Structure 1
Amino acid sequence: MQRLLLILGCLFLVAAIAWPWLSRLPLGRLPGDIRIVRDGFSFYFPITTCILISLLVSLVLWLLRR
């Protein structure tokens, strides 16, 4: 448990430091993300982004368990 918390803390630290560069990635604006904008209403669901992030997290966890 301590190892997992240490790794997660380091990952969050790296993400925080790299945020200016990470914000330039097209995550959240990928083809397949649902966006509906009407008068007085907007709906946004980044389904493709969620799937991509889920695959990436699954890959990282799989690599850590090996």
Structure 2
Amino acid sequence: MNTQSILSKNIRRIIDEKGLKQKAIAQECRINEKAFSNMLCNRQEIRTDNLPLIAKALDVDISELFKTD
């Protein structure tokens, strides 16, 4: 599994576990909602400069986004 797939899988998992909405996370990160959806579906690359914003919006350490287990 490549890094982008790992990131999108973990972000989706955390959103689901915490009962959050993709739209709310996208807005908090100031990422276009469609672009954020595309990122989570591996249709668009998750840029490294967005990772700290996403981790903060999800209230997790950035390392949580890279977990492979």
Band the TM-score falls in, shorter-chain normalisation: 0.3 to 0.5
Higher strand share: 1
Higher helix share: 2
- Relative to the length of structure 1, the TM-score reads 0.35
- Relative to the length of structure 2, the TM-score reads 0.34
